Chains A and B, each alone.
Chain A
Amino acid sequence: MTRTDVQLMLDVKGGDEQSFELLLQRYRTPLVNFLFRMVKNREQAEDLAQEVFIRVYRAREEYVPTAKFTTWLFRIATNLALNSLRDHRHQKLEMSIDAPLMADAEDGDERPFEVADKHLTVEQELVEEERKKMIRRAIEKLPEKQRAAVLLHKYQELDYAEIAKILSCSESALKSLLFRAYEMLRVELAPLVARRGLK
């Protein structure tokens, strides 16, 4: 029988290191993805994800399952990501001069993990790549808190109460935040949205 996250964490608290390994395997990919979309840098995302796991491990003795494990985990991750973005804001301003170059470099990070469709022509592949780049940039353009809300809602499929707790806001404030984020995405992705509407 699969143990729940809380059970695993309680076992870690009891000294079972293997349970921590299971939590690591369960959340390594979602965490790295979330952090990658937040900070837009692969290496930094992995460093932050490491830090999240270490903080969870360090807190094992004091762990009390008052909330869902994912709420706790993504709250740590969100706080680390927001702090990191704040710390690197000056660097980001300098880098923005080279934004197209940097964005392309980051796009390259994802390529090895995409399954290329062998039936697509080179031209179609380029169009497909451009399309994904546009989606990525639309997400990146969102204000940080809106971006976190969208990522937790769309990719982690957390419920509104959980996301609200992670972002330290009320559920109604979260719904408003998400609505504004989707409105912005709708504008940014208008050409792609219109194309889908024609289909």
Chain B
Amino acid sequence: MSCGKMESRILAYMDGRLKDSERAEMEKHLAACGVCRVRANEFRSVSDLLGELPMVEPTPAFDVRVRARVAAEPVKQGRWAWMRPSPRIAFAASMLLLAMLWIGYRKETVAPLPISPDEASAGLMQDISVMEDHDTLANFEPLKELPPPVEVTADSADDNDQQM
């Protein structure tokens, strides 16, 4: 075994994860190569030193916060969840149906009654007094103060068009 190959196996050797044949090959190399033997021993020391570090325990608030966040997670609905019978949807649908029925009923009762031609002309005659009040409006004082309407002749209309 070469020193280069040893590099890819040294940690597995330390962990005891090599096959028997690989381990035997490794031990043979270590017995013959002083540099690799020193390195293997030092790697083992490094591994032991790393093992000296104490474990850090999560604070008591950690669990509380995780549980609170899990509880705040929205409940996931399946793809066909909307098919399940829901009292809310049933109530809403029945209310909508009732509302439609009521509106339909109201339209029938409030519909205007048919008016005969005689009745229509009687109504027109009733309003004619208001329509004939032209004289009253013509003599209305505030309206007299307004400037007289400008008469638009064909020439002046052409001038305006050219100016624009």
Chain A residues near B (Cβ < 8 Å): 17, 20-21, 24, 28-29, 32-33, 36, 42, 45-46, 49-50, 53-54, 57-58, 61, 109-110, 113-115, 131-132, 135-136, 139, 150, 153-155, 159-160, 172, 175-176, 178-179, 182, 185-186, 189, 192-193, 196-197
Contacts and interface: CB of A to CB of B under 8 A. Distances in A.
B58 A29 contact: yes
Contacts of B66: 24, 28, 50, 53-54
Interface residues of B, number: 35
Q: Nearest 3 A-B pairs (CB), nearest first? A: A32-B58, A196-B45, A193-B45
Contacts of A109: 56
B69 interface: yes
Nearest to A32: B58
A113 B53 CA distance: 11
A154 B50 contact: yes
B43 to A, nearest CB: 5
Nearest to B14: A182
Contacts of A193: 42, 45-46, 49
A153 B46 CA distance: 13
Interface string B36-67: 00010111011111111111111100110111
A179 B7 contact: yes
Contact of A175 (B11, B39, B53, B69): B11
A156 B49 CA distance: 16
Contact of A42 (B17, B56, B63): B56
Given A29-B57, A154-B47, A196-B49, 16 more contacts: A20-B70, A24-B66, A28-B58, A29-B56, A46-B58, A54-B69, A54-B70, A110-B54, A110-B56, A115-B54, A176-B8, A179-B7, A179-B11, A182-B46, A189-B45, A193-B45
Contacts of A176: 7-8
Given A28-B62, A54-B66, A178 B49 contact: no
Contacts of B52: 131-132, 135
Interface of B: 7-12, 17, 39, 41-43, 45-59, 62-63, 65-67, 69-70, 73, 76
Given A28-B63, A175-B11, A36 B56 contact: yes
Interface of B is mostly: helix
Contact of B62 (A46, A114, A139): A46
A154 B43 contact: no
A197 B56 contact: no
Given A28-B63, A49-B58, A159-B17, A153 B11 contact: yes
Contact of B54 (A32, A42, A114): A114
A17 B49 CA distance: 40
B11 to A, nearest CB: 5
Nearest to B9: A175
Interface centre among B7, B9, B41 (most CB of A within 10 A): B7
A33 B55 contact: yes
Contact of B46 (A28, A36, A185): A185
25 contacts: A28-B66, A42-B56, A46-B59, A50-B66, A53-B70, A54-B66, A110-B54, A110-B56, A114-B54, A136-B53, A150-B50, A153-B11, A154-B47, A155-B50, A175-B8, A175-B9, A175-B11, A175-B12, A186-B42, A189-B49, A192-B49, A193-B46, A196-B49, A197-B42, A197-B45
